[in-house]
């Protein structure tokens, strides 16, 4: 019982730490991209699906990079946890639950996405981030189950630009506050444009 309580607390802390309000706002941005594909979208259920898929993939990301993060970010909940197996089981439960809810075609695409991501995390390259970022357009494509190249292209461009501005590895220095405002503004502007496409 103590272990269950301990893990529940750790999972709650991890969600707050790694998938907090900023990601909910990002999920709304992804919702506008899905809406640009489908004017008859059920917004509430779709947002829940985006949140669940994003949560599962975020957890997969942290599980697959835990050894590196223990060196670079030892303060993180998952890095300090003794319940790593429970986190892995939670990811599997989330991924399987999403597979059950989705129609057959999107289910196959969701499974393929997870397999490709696991393979990508095992690739020893600092440039794999550019491939891993494609999981977000993939979520949009899976839920919309159609392709709008302008929408997905704009989404990918925004993600890549955000990564460049966010990561001082690419900038060669720490990003300034104005840079963070610009990063967020990109998603807000694109979200409005996607919504405009939806109603037009």
Q: What is the pLDDT of residues 51-87, one digit of tens each?
A: 999 999 999 999 999 999 999 999 999 999 989 999 9
pLDDT given at position 171: 47
- What DSSP string describes the chain? -HHHHHHHHHHHHHHHHHSSHHHHHHHHHHHHHHHTT-TT--HHHHHHHHHHHHHHHHHHHHHHTHHHHHHH-TTSHHHH-S-HHHHHHHHHHHHHHHHHHS-HHHHHHHHHHHHHHHHHHTS--GGGHHHHTTHHHHHHHHHHTS--HHHHHHHHHHHHHHHHHH-HHHHSSPPPHHHHHHHHHHHHHHHHHHHHHHH-
pLDDT given at position 165: 80
pLDDT given at position 199: 53
pLDDT given at position 177: 64
Q: Which domain holds residue 188?
A: 2-199
pLDDT given at position 172: 47
pLDDT given at position 154: 94
pLDDT given at position 167: 61
pLDDT given at position 3: 82
pLDDT given at position 169: 45
Mean pLDDT by 10 residues, the chain (200 residues): 83 93 92 88 94 97 94 93 94 97 96 96 82 94 90 93 70 60 86 79
DSSP letter assigned to residue 174: P
Mean per-residue pLDDT of the chain: 89
pLDDT given at position 38: 80
How many folded domains does the chain comprise?
1
């Amino acid at each position: 019982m103590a272990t269950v309580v301990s893990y529940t607390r750790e999972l709650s802390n991890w969600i707050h730490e790694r998938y907090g309000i900023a990601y909910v706002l990002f999920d709304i941005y992804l919702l506008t991209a899905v809406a640009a594909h489908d004017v008859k979208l059920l917004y509430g259920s779709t947002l829940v699906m985006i949140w669940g898929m994003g949560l599962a993939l975020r957890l997969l990301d942290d599980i697959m990079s835990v050894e590196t993060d223990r060196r670079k970010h030892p303060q993180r909940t998952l890095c300090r946890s003794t319940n790593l197996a429970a986190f892995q089981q939670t990811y599997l439960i989330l991924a399987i639950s999403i597979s059950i809810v989705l129609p057959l075609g999107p289910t196959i695409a969701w499974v393929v996405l997870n397999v490709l991501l696991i393979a990508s995390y095992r690739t020893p390259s600092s440039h794999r981030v550019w491939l891993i970022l494609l999981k977000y357009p993939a979520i949009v494509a899976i839920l919309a189950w159609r392709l709008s190249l302008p929408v997905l292209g704009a989404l990918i461009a925004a993600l890549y630009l955000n990564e460049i501005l966010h990561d001082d590895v690419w900038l060669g220095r720490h990003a300034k506050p104005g840079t963070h405002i610009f990063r967020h503004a990109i998603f807000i502007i694109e979200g409005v444009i996607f919504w405009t496409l939806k109603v037009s």
